[in-house]
Each structure stands twice: as C-alpha cells, then as structure tokens.
Structure 1
C-alpha cells in the first residue's frame, strides 16, 4: 500500500489517509441524495440516477486514486444537475436527448484532455468570465434551493415572492438551513451531511419523512438509449458547450486549488494532469450512459487534504465508501422525497461558489459588466448556457470599444459570433 501510493515520499501514512478519505466523503456525501432529487424532477427514474451517481463517482475517483495518485474525489457536479432539469423543462426535449448532450460533451472533453486545445481554451477565456460563470451557477442552484424549500415561490405579477412560512416543508427547510449554517460556521467536518441527517430525523418524528426501509440489494444499473440524434435535430449545441465549458473550468480550477493546498504542484504545474483530467471525462461518459450529469473534481476534497490526505489512498477510501452507499437506496430515496432536507445544502453550496467575484476588477467597467451579466442572467433565465453566451458576447465588444481589442484572444471573437447567431436565430424557449 505504501509503495503503491508513495506514502513515505509524500510524508503520510495509512491511518492519516483513511481518516482523510472519510472526511472528504462526509463533506460530499450529500450529492448521493441531492443529485437524484434534482434529476428525478426532469422525469429520470430515481434508482437510475442514484446508481449512476454512485458508479460515476466510483469510476472517476478510482482512476484519480490509481493513475494520478491525488487525494481528489470525483462525482457528478452541482449546478449541472439543476441546469439539466431546466433544459428538459424549458426546451421541451426528453431527458434522453439531454443525456445525449452530456455524453457528447464528455467525449469531447476526453479528446481535449489529450491535446493542447484544452489548455488553449482555458487560457483564452478571461478571468472575469470564469469567475462570473462559477458564481452564476452558484446563484442558480441557490435559487433552486430557495424554490424547493418554499422560501421563494412563483408570483404572476412579480415573477417571484416570499413564501408562506407556516407551511410545514418551509418551516423544516428553514430549521435545516440554520442547523447547517451553524455547523458550517463552527467548521464541523461534514457539516452539510450532518445537517441533512438532523433535518431528516426531525422530519421523521414530525411525520413528514416516511421510511419503508434502510438497506436493500443495490438497484441494477441500466444502460438506456441515448438520443444523440436529438441533440442535433433540436440544435442543443449551446447546451453541449455549456456542459463542456463548465466541466473544464470547474475540474481544472478545483484540481489546481486542491493540489496547491496539498503541496503537490511542481513549478506551478500539475504533474500527471492528463490522467487526472481523464478521470473526470471517463466518469462523465460513464455517468451519461447510466443516467447522470457531468462529473467534476470536488472542492470538498480540500477537507480531506486539511485532515492530512496527500495521496490516492484518500481517494480510494472515498470510492469504497461511495460503493457502500449502493446498499442504502431505500433510505436515500426517502430522504430525497422530502425537499426540506436537500434544499438547505443547495443554498449553502451556492454561497461557496461566488467566492471568485471578489477577484473581479469591479472598478473597471469593461471587466466587471460581462461578469455581472453572466451572474444576473443565469438564475433569471434558468440557463447556464445563456449566461455563458451573454458573457462571451459582451466581453470582446466592450474591450473593442475600450480600445483593448488586441488583449482579447482570437478564439473569443469566434465564440462571440457563434453565440450571437445562436441567440438570434436559435434561442432557447
């Protein structure tokens, strides 16, 4: 074990790595509940999403452990699941078609991993847009959480309004939110997971949560027919690009951040980067085939690093723990059916994702406004793709007006034209 994961060389031991693996798993275990809860709203069978979530997490995290030797966990990313549901609802296509878009994005990502185009794409997109995209997704999923909880409701006159705080689901959501906030503020490890557990216990004793069992044989994984042709016939190219772009930035940024924290970066570069990025891409392809959204490196891996994790043994432990959850599908299904349990996690995770806005140069209008427009449009249009599009259109235009057109990478002008054509002639409805 020590030789396989180079524990001595990395200054760690088996006990520390196992503890770090448990820490990482507890901080991100909420995805096993939240992901099926969100995607089932798009008509995807619960058991299918549950199994796909676990298997894609196991595959990606195992590749990360055994081929990259990094303490970084992989699982279906937050934000993309809410976006998936919104595409099914707003564009009137089946979830099989959107999974086709996910598979296509995963295959492209896998190809880009072994070329220089990935680095070119990352380098060409300016920092304000990167920060804006991440923050916009944060606001988007927080808004989803507010609606799931009943704190915010639809209103025909004002679009949204404050909900009824006497509704049992809303009351439990607020209680769960404050429990999770207190635990998070106190920096309790696994705060979101523990918060969900306490909320579930309250829901059970108040008659809101109904359990038909705790454990059972794992549901059988199902490979279903993806509708790749539907991606082209419905013109979902913007959706494919959104899945691809967000996955690339989210994964790369998280890997670099966690590796930096663990002291694993070498001269500003990430060793074994290709195998690390391949873990994410392979997990996305496998997940799309089984029934879940794109996978990503999880920033919660930093909790395991803080606990001493330095090698792939940490990731191996996370993968094993995810595998064990397959035997608790009745419990997960029951928890997912009560939105008050999962909604607080969406709201809090959303707040984590807006940190990058502090790095935007707000005093420089040509830098600030495109980022602002991305953040504003994602939750208001319920579309991550639209948010990306308006950012890619406004940024180069404002730079030209400012006389800084040469500072913009040529590929950004190409994207600007593509997105203009899409929004004018192929708008999402």
Structure 2
C-alpha cells in the first residue's frame, strides 16, 4: 500500500507526464486538419474529428489497457489519405475515401478481438524489438532537430546544419539547454519544465503571441461522414479501394505495434519481452480509427511522442487519461493551442532528449551476428531517412527471414514472420506508400 505522500507524488508525476506528452503532440490538432483540408475536408471538421478520435483512443488506452500511451491521427497516413488517395483518386471525394478508412478500422477492431494482433508482438525477434525502439528514438530526434531548424535541407547533401543565428534556432538551443539542466538535476517533469521556460522566453522575445485570444467555442461536425457500414463496404467495392484499405490496414498495424512496443520497452513495461494486455492496447487504436473515420479524420496510431511522457515518469494509464482530458479542454482553447504548437522550439527539445534516451536500446542488439545485426541496422537507419516507422519495420521484417534463410537458420524464424515479410514485400513493391 502507498502512503498518502507516495500517492501524491505518484499522481503528480503521472500528471506531469501527461502534460508533457500532450504538449509534445499538440501540434497534431493544427497539422492534421491542415493536411486533410487539402483533400477538401473543412478545417473545423478535421479539427473536431482529430480531437474526438484522440480522446476515444487515448481514454481507452488509459482506462482499459492502463498504458501511458496516447493515440491520435497518424502523421504520414494523413498525407497518404490527402495526396495519394483523394487527390490522385480520379475524382474520388473525401467522404468516399473515409469509407476505406472506416472499413480498415472495422477490420482492425475484428482483428484486435483475435489473438493474432497481440501474438505478433510476441513473435517479433528480440533484436528487431530493440532496433524498433532505437529507430523510433532516432526518428523523433531527427524530427525535433528538423522542426527547430538545427538541421535543414541541403540541395547536395540533403541535410545540413541550420542557421545558428536564427531566432528560432537560438530559442530551441536555450530550450534544449534548460531541459538538459533540469534533467541533469533529476527534477521530475524536466521535459515539461523545459517547455514552460522556453515558452516564457518565447513570449518575452515576441516569438509567441496570442493575437486570436485564448478561448473559442468548438465547432461540432455537421454530421457523421460514415454512418452506414454497408454503404462503406459498397464504396470500397464500387471504387475498387482494396489497395487503399490494405495499405491503411498494414501500415497502421505495424506502426502502432512498433510504437507501443518501443514506448513500453522504454518504460520497462514488457514482461519477458512480452506486452501484457497487448490486445487491449491495440483495440484502443482500432476503435479510434473506426470512430475517427466516422467524424472525418484519417487512421490513428499510437504516438511516438508518448515517449516524452514516459521519460518524464509516466508509467500507468493515468498519463493517457491526462492527455485525453487536455485534448478535450483544448477543444475550447484552439487559439491558445494553435499558438503554442506553432512554435516548434518549445516542444522540439523534448523530442531530441527522448530520442537520445531511446537510442540506448542499440546496446542490446547482437552486433556480432550479421543475420541479426543487419536487419536491425536497416530498421534503425530507414526510419529517420524515410520518415516512416512502418517502412523501417517493413525492411526489418523482409530482411530478417531472408538473412536467416541464407545462413541456413530458417527454422529459427516463426512462420508469422515469413507471412508478414511477404505482405510487406508486396506492399513496398506494388502499393502506393
């Protein structure tokens, strides 16, 4: 039993972790509707749908699965929805495209009710699990460096050092320094406090303003975009959206699985390299995708930014509940959230620090055996270079059994790994991504 003091400290730590996760992923409330707007979805519809899907999935993750992991519309899949499905879909409307998301979400729910999806986590080779964690860490660190301008594009070398005299870069460096100081002093909520300090400095320097005020009344969707399952399946058949459904299904399956696995490993929540209550965690994501498609947003996924909350001390579903509550409150504070999330220097330092922590998983990889190390290397290097967690996992799943076959160790590979290797090879070769 915890004493009252221990309970207070536990609640304080979990709330700080939830706030940290929220502020590192708050940008999705602005970015996702903007991307969906390019597909014709009204911004208000996308904004509200984003919040609804996030609240549903994250609450389920916190209250039922008891994990400190947030769920929201996935970056990458929203771009795929807008630019690869709708804009090049030969006159396909966004409402019809959401039918494909709905069908994929429904299949997710049904799949999550079977042992197959949770079984997948158990059959992933240990070295690939470590590589997924490290790859995600490198990926989110790269996102943080890119958002702050510390790393920028280059016509020859692709990336290069940014302008260190830029006010945004200077602010990001100050924020990173403040975060590292708090972290080095073992202060609880170091990541969140670093964001607070950076926000205050940004406001004093004139980089952060609240011209549109702080509060606004949320705009509710005019109606459900997908309310009839039969009609959704009919749209998929009529417009031949099978490849779209398969892409959503496969990418989200492994995107969420990889993220949940990586964040849970960082939090020390795996038991014998297995994820307890895995089916509940994956069902939360499935339900969020299903509900989100009905209101008007692209498929959801577990968010890698949850690692920042874990790093701040989050270990239970209370962290996720705090995130969900904050998203609910944010529906009334869209101008404030938009202003804060629009200043990348406030949130990006947390991503950089968390990325460095997650990259530590590379020490557990068996680098002496090429059939173990090379697939792990592909996972780690391809995630940041392709800006896709799913692509990194795909290359790992394809190369791992191939290397084992070449080494004459094909019996060591679970048959499910061979199946998914073929599915990933088919997706990379023939489906849009």
Q: Distance in 2 between matches of 1:214 and 1:408?
A: 55
1:217 counterpart SS class: coil
**What is the Cα deviation at residue 239 of structure 1?**
4.8
| 1:360 paired to 2:357 | no
| 1:145 paired to 2:140 | no
In structure 2, the partner of 1:412 is 417
Q: Distance in 2 between matches of 1:11 and 1:253?
A: 32
Distance 1:84 1:168, change over 3 A: farther
**What is the Cα deviation at residue 104 of structure 1?**
5.0
Does the 8 Å CA contact 2:70/2:302 hold for their aligned counterparts? Answer: yes
**What is the Cα deviation at residue 296 of structure 1?**
3.0
Q: Distance in 1 between matches of 2:273 and 2:150?
A: 44
In structure 1, the partner of 2:170 is 171
In structure 2, the partner of 1:39 is 32
In structure 2, the partner of 1:283 is 288
1:413 counterpart SS class: helix
1:371 counterpart SS class: helix
Distance 1:375 1:272, change over 3 A: closer
TM-score of the superposed pair, with normalisation by structure 1:
0.78
Distance 1:303 1:103, change over 3 A: farther
1:258-337 alignment, distance < 5 Å: 260=269, 274-275=279-280, 277-290=282-295, 291=297, 294-296=300-302, 298=306, 300=309, 319-337=324-342
Distance 1:35 1:353, change over 3 A: farther
Does the 8 Å CA contact 1:35/1:50 hold for their aligned counterparts? Answer: no
Indicate the RMSD between aligned Cα atoms, in angstroms.
3.9
**What is the Cα deviation at residue 360 of structure 1?**
1.3
Does the 8 Å CA contact 2:69/2:319 hold for their aligned counterparts? Answer: no
Stretch deviating more after TM superposition (150-159 or 14-23): 14-23
Q: For 1:223-267, what per-residue CA distance to the aligned partner results, in whole angstroms no more than 9, with x for missing partners?
A: 674798489366573453121113134336656876859xxx8x9
Does the 8 Å CA contact 2:24/2:350 hold for their aligned counterparts? Answer: no
Stretch deviating more after TM superposition (358-367 or 212-221): 212-221
Q: Distance in 1 between matches of 2:240 and 2:340?
A: 33
Q: Distance in 2 between matches of 1:365 and 1:107?
A: 40
Stretch deviating more after TM superposition (239-248 or 80-89): 80-89
Q: Distance in 1 between matches of 2:407 and 2:388?
A: 29
| 1:124 paired to 2:133 | no
Distance 1:364 1:65, change over 3 A: closer
Q: Distance in 2 between matches of 1:141 and 1:331?
A: 24
In structure 1, the partner of 2:391 is 386
**What is the Cα deviation at residue 33 of structure 1?**
2.0
| 1:245 paired to 2:254 | yes
TM-score of the superposed pair, with normalisation by structure 2:
0.77
| 1:338 paired to 2:343 | yes
Stretch deviating more after TM superposition (236-245 or 168-177): 236-245
In structure 2, the partner of 1:24 is 17
User: Across the two proteins, how many residue pairs are aligned to each other?
Assistant: 408
**What is the Cα deviation at residue 413 of structure 1?**
1.9
In structure 2, the partner of 1:4 is none
**What is the Cα deviation at residue 39 of structure 1?**
2.9
Distance 1:116 1:76, change over 3 A: closer
Q: Distance in 2 between matches of 1:156 and 1:105?
A: 38
Q: Distance in 2 between matches of 1:347 and 1:115?
A: 37
Does the 8 Å CA contact 1:18/1:317 hold for their aligned counterparts? Answer: no
Q: Distance in 2 between matches of 1:270 and 1:42?
A: 33
Q: For 1:13-53, what per-residue CA distance to the aligned partner results, in whole angstroms no more than 9, with x for missing partners?
A: 97566545523322322145232354356355766565445
In structure 2, runs of 5+ residues without a counterpart are 88-92, 227-231
- One of 70, 76, 88 as aligned partner of 2:71: 76
Q: Distance in 2 between matches of 1:92 and 1:65?
A: 32
Distance 1:314 1:374, change over 3 A: closer
1:327 counterpart SS class: coil
| 1:59 paired to 2:56 | yes
| 1:370 paired to 2:375 | yes
**What is the Cα deviation at residue 407 of structure 1?**
0.6
Q: Distance in 2 between matches of 1:303 and 1:380?
A: 27
